[in-house]
Structure 1
Amino acid sequence: MTKQFSLAHLTALGCSPPELIYIAARAGYDFVSLRPIFMGLPGEPNYALAENKQMMKETKAALSETGVKVLDIELARIYEGLDPKKYLPAFEVAAELGGKHVLSSIWTDDRNFAIECFQELCDLAEPFGLTIDLEFVPIASVKNLKGALEVLHAAKKENAGLMIDAHHFHRSKDKIEELDTIPREWFHYFHLCDATSTIPTSADEMVRILREERLYVGEGGIDVASIVNRLPEMPYAIELPNLKRSQELGYEEFARHCLETAKDYFAAHPRTSTVNP
């Protein structure tokens, strides 16, 4: 089966959605993963397409011209006091652009509130044909596979999914054998990257690496092949922010290197496992 790849926005966050699409097309990607939900982080560009009609028009034109498709949008964070309806305009954008999935993560320790919000997100997304894919993040409230599975089992929503990031899986010290018990229909796409095998003990250093210094697949110490061999075949979104390299190479050449090294890695590590293919 031919692998499909998406260029995740965080890999080239300085690029507007139209720019990202053109770069993805020239570099050979099948999809893009966009960030039309503005989170207000320091230095974060605002790509809220629901509020920027001109950029939305240019994004649709770029998709039409290149044939690149939208895989998913992000990030529908769940945090204390959230009204999930806040994300409705972004869901409308995703559907209009042909996207299929919405990435979510949980940043509140109020478990009942988090589950209720996640359920509401699923209900809001369902009419648009979107899934809500929960990502566990080692610096968030739901920080490992166990926590994510607890939410998904409690939510019991047909359009819910689980999105695993290679970096987060490794940093959370999860075991690959745990992947065998997960319903296959929960997997829609996977975040591909690498990082050093040493897990930072400092939260600040963890954040710095995950946002600024991830590595090409096969370059670090994460056994990516062992993870993906336990999972069904699905699109791979390359989320690989590396500020130094993207500045040195430029976003397009960096995105091309990210894709080429990922393809080289998979060629050198063909799927051999038959566990839940």
Structure 2
Amino acid sequence: MPSFSLAALTVLELAPPAMIDVAAACGYQQVGLRLLPAMPGGVAHPLMEDEVGLRETLARLDATGITVADLEVVALRPETEIAAFSAFFETGARLGARHILVADYDPDLSRFRDRYASFCEAAAPYGLTADLEFMPWTYAPDLASAARVVAQVGQPNAGVLVDALHFDRSRSSIDELANVPTHRLHYWQMCDAPAEQPATTDAMIHAARHERMFPGEGGIDLVALARAMPADITISLEIPTIELAKTMDAKARAQRALDAARNVIARSLDGA
């Protein structure tokens, strides 16, 4: 079995120390921490501005043996200044994080490529990869476009982040995935969703941020995707379920996610 990481979005109500305890209790090996909001005003835990919270988080990591897979969310926009991420990188290094989730919100492709390359260069001394997540509503809308950008910047720590939901909704293909060099795939995100595509972009965004399904409970061919991904990279379980969270606590949801993901991986390995 690969290692599994509990993504912040799955249990967004939890601060990092509590999230780490839940991950350990359920049997995860890693967590993903949201230090920056996905959108202005969104939920985040900026540990680079909270020394007390950072020390408590480090203590929980040490006590549980959980490690940090990735940090979220770096949205590169036209006005983004790479120099502003110094404290973010330093905090990532203190946490022992391995990857950074990057999103393209810049309509100027040339400017984005240059800024992304600079971001990769700035992150590298801290031992961090910079993984471009394609999402249909961003300027890297699908696997092919993200892979092309990563290849063009040529930075050793640049990567393509495959989220099962966005892979399906962008109509990316397993054949396209086969063309992505394996060294550009550092980790991936698993969830499920109804087979039917959302009717609007707003509906797609809402589902992605608030209502996904546990692996194996929807219509995405996760077994085929798991077989196409490198077997030895971390799988981040990113499964927000806002309605269910009203009646099921974070630990129960995290456990259900992990059990379901393990079942998908078992099926991918046994040929079922």
Scaled to the shorter chain, the TM-score interval is over 0.9
Does structure 2 retain, via aligned residues, the 8 Å contact 1:79–1:106?
Answer: yes
For residues 107 and 49 of structure 1, the distance between their equivalents in structure 2, rounded to whole angstroms, comes to 24
Structure 1 268/46 Cα, relative in aligned 2: closer, same or farther at 3 Å? closer
Please list every run of at least 4 consecutive aligned residues from structure 1 whose deviation after the TM superposition is greater than 3 angstroms: 38-42
Structure 1 202/133 Cα, relative in aligned 2: closer, same or farther at 3 Å? same
Query: Which SS does the other structure have where 1:270 is aligned?
Result: helix
Which amino acid in the other structure matches residue 180 of structure 2? I
Structure 1 55/114 Cα, relative in aligned 2: closer, same or farther at 3 Å? same
For residues 250 and 40 of structure 2, the distance between their equivalents in structure 1, rounded to whole angstroms, comes to 21
Structure 1 271/140 Cα, relative in aligned 2: closer, same or farther at 3 Å? farther
Structure 1 271/34 Cα, relative in aligned 2: closer, same or farther at 3 Å? farther
For residues 246 and 155 of structure 1, the distance between their equivalents in structure 2, rounded to whole angstroms, comes to 40
Q: CA RMSD in A?
A: 1.4
Which amino acid in the other structure matches residue 124 of structure 1? A
Does structure 2 retain, via aligned residues, the 8 Å contact 1:229–1:271?
Answer: no
Tell me the percent identity: 32
> Alpha-carbon deviation of 1:104?
0.3
Indicate which of 163, 166, 178 corresponds to 1:165.
163
For residues 76 and 270 of structure 2, the distance between their equivalents in structure 1, rounded to whole angstroms, comes to 35
Provide the aligned length of Structure 1 versus Structure 2: 271
Partner of 1:193: 191
Does structure 1 retain, via aligned residues, the 8 Å contact 2:89–2:126?
Answer: yes
Partner of 2:148: 150
Does structure 2 retain, via aligned residues, the 8 Å contact 1:229–1:272?
Answer: no
For residues 271 and 127 of structure 1, the distance between their equivalents in structure 2, rounded to whole angstroms, comes to 40
Structure 1 227/271 Cα, relative in aligned 2: closer, same or farther at 3 Å? farther
Indicate which of 104, 122, 126 corresponds to 1:124.
122
Query: Which SS does the other structure have where 2:47 is aligned?
Result: coil
For residues 263 and 19 of structure 1, the distance between their equivalents in structure 2, rounded to whole angstroms, comes to 23
What TM-score do the two structures reach when normalised by structure 1? 0.94
Indicate which of 159, 175, 178 corresponds to 1:177.
175
> Alpha-carbon deviation of 1:272?
4.8
Query: Which SS does the other structure have where 1:70 is aligned?
Result: strand
Query: Which SS does the other structure have where 1:50 is aligned?
Result: helix
Partner of 1:253: 252
Partner of 1:270: 269
Indicate which of 92, 105, 108 corresponds to 1:107.
105
- Where in structure 2 are the equivalents of 1:60-139 lying within 5 Å? 60-139=58-137
Which amino acid in the other structure matches residue 14 of structure 2? C
Does structure 2 retain, via aligned residues, the 8 Å contact 1:76–1:87?
Answer: no
Does structure 2 retain, via aligned residues, the 8 Å contact 1:37–1:87?
Answer: no
For residues 154 and 259 of structure 1, the distance between their equivalents in structure 2, rounded to whole angstroms, comes to 35
Q: Which blocks of at least 5 consecutive residues in structure 1 are unaligned? A: none
Which amino acid in the other structure matches residue 6 of structure 1? S
> Alpha-carbon deviation of 1:88?
2.0
Query: Which SS does the other structure have where 2:220 is aligned?
Result: coil
What TM-score do the two structures reach when normalised by structure 2? 0.96
For residues 86 and 196 of structure 1, the distance between their equivalents in structure 2, rounded to whole angstroms, comes to 39
> Alpha-carbon deviation of 1:230?
1.4
Indicate which of 220, 223, 237 corresponds to 2:221.
223
For residues 72 and 86 of structure 2, the distance between their equivalents in structure 1, rounded to whole angstroms, comes to 12
